A = this chain, B = another copy of it.
């Protein structure tokens, strides 16, 4: 029996990354899930990440502390900038929104690269989508390809020609609805996930960009987002 291959999976605790973790496990990887405490307002997502990692059978789950508040510049980390709310997903524009965190995916992937090198893993999974991507530049295929090229020049394994790092983006051509359908096939319990940028009392607001995109995905499948269902009681 050969050992299973290891992969580092970036896990925010949201819908997309939970689906990606399920895909990595389904593809036969030992999944090392990596989350970040980065000064985000919505740190309730870290508890969601913990539950998702456990439910989907991650081999290990690590939360790395990093300090992005030092730099500011995003409504997700800067208390002086408000998270925008809208009545419907149709109001979302194509501009890069204020919730964009400068260089966030670049930083997250860099930590994933460090962990992968330490684990001797050559696979990293990230849940970016070029379709329902809220206009973030670091979710596009050309960005991911350039990151992969750079990463293979950055590491011991790349230099020594032992292995080639691969960044897997299984959602990159999927709509939110297609992502949800894929996750349901793999048994993801979306009630555990948390995507809201601006939760109130630990509950999703239903009107930030992230809630609206996610809600529309469920609606297209004739479903209601479990994160927005009223608490029983």
Contacts and interface: CB of A to CB of B under 8 A. Distances in A.
Interface of A: 62, 64-68, 70-73, 96, 100-107, 109-111, 113-115, 117-118, 137-138, 140, 142-143, 146-147, 149-151, 153-156, 158-160
A138 B157 CA distance: 12
B114 A68 contact: yes
A75 to B, nearest CB: 13
Given A103-B114, A113-B106, A114-B107, A146 B143 contact: no
Given A106-B154, A137-B155, A159-B96, A73 B142 contact: no
A142 B153 contact: yes
A111 B118 contact: no
- Per CB-CB distance, the 4 closest pairs between chain A and chain B, nearest first, are A73-B118, A103-B114, A102-B117, A146-B150
B153 A140 contact: yes
24 contacts: A62-B70, A64-B66, A66-B66, A68-B114, A71-B111, A71-B114, A96-B156, A96-B160, A102-B113, A102-B114, A102-B117, A102-B156, A103-B113, A106-B110, A106-B150, A107-B111, A137-B153, A137-B158, A142-B153, A143-B153, A146-B149, A146-B150, A149-B150, A150-B150
Contacts of A102: 113-115, 117-118, 155-156
Nearest to A139: B154
A13 to B, nearest CB: 18
Nearest to A148: B150
A138 B114 CA distance: 12
A21 B140 CA distance: 34
